[in-house]
Structure 1
Amino acid sequence: MYSKGVRRVGAFNVALLGKWCWRMLVDKEGLWYRVLKARYGKEGGRLKEGGSHCSAWWRSLCRIREGIGERVGSWFENNTRRVVGDGNDTLFWHDIWVGEISLKFKFPRLFDFALNKECLVEDMRRRLGADGEGEGLWRRRLLAWEEEGVRECSVLLQNIVLQDSVHDVWRWSLDPVHGYLVREAYRFLTNYGESADGNLVDDIWHKNIPSKVSLFMWRLLRNRIPTKDNLVRRRVIHQDDATCVSGCGNAETTTHLFLGCEIFSSLWSHVWHWLGISSVFSGDLQQHFVQFTYMAGMPRYTHSFFTTIWFASIWVIWKERNYRVFQNTASDPSILIEKVKLNFFYG
């Protein structure tokens, strides 16, 4: 574990790099953006990383942009939002402008068949039309089940009210008024890190939990496990292969896999029934962990008990996901709850 002093120095350096990442978003007419664009090129609305030939400084910025920094997961991306005005400067497929993920991950099949992958929101709304057909948008005629995704895109566009006199802007959620400030980013990173470190020391490295499970949880709570969205971000797999293995049609992210997927997350209802409790938990994985392990109204000594159950449940979901990916086998949730009981690490 890092000492507190080292962590704070690291957090300050990361916050400074985050300032440059923010400038690359909001100041595309600036000198540095134009220099980097000329040297590394541009793809998907963002500057390319440049591979092994890029400078150490630019590689560090790309790592921050991709969600690495002070063990807080995708802190920069999670606090960056695209606010659509007239829709003339927001990339329909690449930017996160509606929902929590970009539409190229939500509709990977459609993105693969799109003729213009750099199209803007305003252009897409005009060309897609109210009927949802979008003639001339795709490389081939879509199948019936693929057209369902097109109609869903059409509904998204119909629910967005574009304002002709308002430009699209980036908004920093930690300070929507002033934008990115190193001071606020540093405070977020250090405060987040202190609470996360406490949980790691007290909970993840538990004497009754196998070391391989503890290591997995350490990576999980920092969004560093090889879910499909992370594999796409690292260019290990194609975007077309990023959908959840359960067949639900959504992109496989950490939050979706363990909390949002109707197949995998149904295990939690079996866990609650087994424990004889009923509750509504957060849709954020770390908050879900805290809520579950510090169950309201329960004595303090039960914290270790609920921690090991949460770890066992997460571990079973991950193993089941891998069985489906690599062995093409699937188990019913009623079987998974028995595996949770079998893998219960307590005692």
Structure 2
Amino acid sequence: MAWAKWDLILASFDKGGLNVGSLKAFNLALIFKWRWRYLMNPDDLWVTLIKSINGDKFEDTHGTSLWSSIVDTCSNIISNELLPGKALKMQVGNGLNTSFWHDIWTGQDKLANRYNRLYHLECNKNDLIANKFVNATWCWTWSRPILSGRNFSSLFNLQNELMEYRLTEAEDQWVCLLSSDHNFYVKLAREHIDNVILHFSSLRTTWNKILPRKDNVFLWRYKHDYLPLHWNLSIRGLDVNTIVCPVCNLFYYLCAVTSF
């Protein structure tokens, strides 16, 4: 007989579980780490080989190969919000290695997606940030003048978003916003995914490190009313002779109160 949902057992202590963690989240976090390695090691031989086959952009991969499956899984993790869209973000320095429209460097999505109307009017869609920011001013190359309407409103919002950005002499680099030191850790990614996909209880788990593990689990089961008492067996459809506690001869609710 199953007393607790498996998702609750896997959930973290803060979510009322036993902090086991799911293998699904662990596997997804390991797959997403390939994206981090791909972005952080652009000059490695294996990255150069993949780029020669699929193109320079991580998202350009299509087909049925193993690498395309990794790319699709990473895209699904973001689209299903298992990890935030800005989990991996380009930290802009001199702007020489960051695509203005195609890289995530401001906000939670690419500018090409958030300002789609302006992107279609752009003449140089592959421009780097350094090409757009000249003499401390943002320079635009539109296919036709933007004077009014929705395009003008989008341009106004874009300029407001970019108002605080200034280029520096430092090189552009990818950072992971899941950790304080901006490195990617599978453990943190797994915990974040678990918090999204696992069910949880409103009762936070109190885990005492001094007590043996089996005692902590027993207290957790008692707190959630998962002990095989006569009353619990009865309400789950089992035929029991009595719901009186065989130890103290009290009814279930009195026994529970006087035991702790």
Q: TM-score range by the shorter chain?
A: 0.5 to 0.7
Give the superposition deviation at 1:93: 1.0
- 8 Å CA contact 2:82–2:197 kept in 1: the answer is no
CA displacement at 1:112 relative to structure 2: 0.6
Is 1:90 the counterpart of 2:102? The answer is no
- Give the 5 Å matches for 1:20-39: 20-39=34-53
CA contact (8 A) 1:172 1:180 kept: yes
Kindly state the Cα deviation for residue 155 of structure 1 after the two structures are TM-superposed: 4.0
Residues in 1 aligned to 2:126 and 2:47: alpha-carbon distance in whole angstroms: 19
* Alignment counterpart, residue 61 of structure 2, candidates 45, 49, 58: 49
Secondary structure in 2 aligned to 1:66? helix
Tell me if the contact between 1:11 and 1:189 (Cα under 8 Å) persists in the aligned partners.
Answer: yes
Q: How far off is 1:121 after superposition?
A: 1.5
- The residue type paired with residue 149 of structure 1 is S
Conserved 8 A contact 2:86-2:104: no
* Distance change (3 Å), C-alpha of 1:141 and 1:178: closer
Shift of 1:103: 1.4
> 2: CA distance between counterparts of 1:12 and 1:73?
16
Of 155, 159, 168, the residue aligned with 1:150 is: 155
Give the structure-2-normalised TM-score: 0.60
Whether 2:185 is the aligned partner of 1:162: answer: no
Shift of 1:172: 0.9
Deviation of 1:96 after TM superposition, in Å, equals 2.0
Residue 130 of structure 2: aligned partner: 122
- The equivalent of 2:193 in structure 1 is 189
Percentage identity across aligned positions?
A: 26
Q: Find the partner of 2:33 among 19, 24, 41.
A: 19
Matched letter for residue 72 of structure 2: R
Q: Give, in angstroms, the shift of residue 188 of structure 1.
A: 2.4
Of the candidates 63, 70, 75, which is equivalent to residue 66 of structure 1? 75
- Contact kept? 1:110, 1:149, Cα under 8 Å: yes
Alignment of 1:220-299 (within 5 A): none
How many angstroms apart in 2 are the aligned matches of 1:81 and 1:175? Answer: 12
Aligned equivalent of 1:331: none
Contact 2:85–2:108, Cα closer than 8 Å, also in 1: no
**C-alpha displacement of 1:17:** 0.6
C-alpha distance in 2 between matches for 1:33 and 1:107:
30
Following the alignment from structure 2 to structure 1, what is the Cα–Cα distance between the partners of residues 120 and 80? Answer: 31
CA distance in 1, matches of 2:106, 2:178: 19
Q: Give 5+ residue unaligned stretches, structure 2.
A: 11-19, 202-260
Q: CA deviation at 1:74?
A: 4.4
With normalisation by structure 1, the TM-score equals 0.47
Greater helix fraction, Structure 1 or Structure 2: 1
Residue 79 (str. 1) matches residue 84 (str. 2): no
CA shift digits 1:141-183 (9 cap, x unpaired): 334333443344344444212111x111111112241611222
Name the CA shift for 1:156/1:78 in 2 (closer, same or farther; >3 Å). closer
Q: Write the distance in 1 (CA, Å) between the matches of 2:25 and 2:157.
A: 41
Higher RCO structure, 1 or 2 (CA under 8 Å, sep 6+): 2
1:38 is paired with a residue of what secondary structure?
Answer: helix
Change (3 A) 1:40 1:76: farther
Q: Mind listing any 5+ residue stretches in structure 1 that lack a counterpart?
A: 200-347
- Counterpart of 2:200? 198
Q: Secondary structure at the match of 1:81?
A: strand
Q: Of the two, which has the highest radius of gyration?
A: 2
